[in-house]
Amino acid sequence: MLSRILVPMDDSEHASHALEYALDNHPEAEITVLHVVGVPSMMMGEAVSLALDDNINEAAADHAEPVFERAREIANERDREIDTSIGIGHPARDILDRAEDYDTIVLGAHGEDWNRATRRFLVGNITETVSKRAPIPVIIVR
């Protein structure tokens, strides 16, 4: 039986489906929704604004809140509670760094990078990296 599940989420529909799957199929498990705000780079416009903010943790929380609001709505529809956690940095690395604290990771098949990563036919880049490197089972939800 799974008692602790990590569900990394962005604002994609696939991430919402992953949370729904975790809540529906593991009613006794503690679910933690993780949103990782990326590190600033020239290709990540939203993350660049974090570097310019006086309080990076507060700015990260502001960026994560819409994702957490959606996650809470999904949980409330099922009369469930969830925990939330914010990461800052590379999403796959942050997920993998936390993995050993959980029994499994439930990921959406495609995240925000799905349309940009044409060489990825079945899963997004973050999902692929986590599924290959995680020290615990990974469930990929479409």
Say which CATH topology domain 4-141 has: Rossmann fold (3.40.50)
Which tokens belong to 15? 């991430």
Decide: 84 and 32 in contact? Cβ < 8 Å. yes
Over residues 90-117, the pLDDT tens digits come to 899 999 999 999 999 999 987 554 444 4
* Residue pair 29/129 in contact by the 8 Å Cβ criterion: no
Token readout for 30 is: 């503690």
Euclidean distance between CA atoms 105 and 102, whole angstroms = 7
pTM to 2 decimal places: 0.85
pLDDT at residue 123 is higher than 60: no
For the chain, the structural domain boundaries read 4-141
pLDDT at 117: 44
What integer best gives the mean pLDDT of the chain?
85
> CA geometry: angle at 93 spanning 6 and 11, to 5°?
55
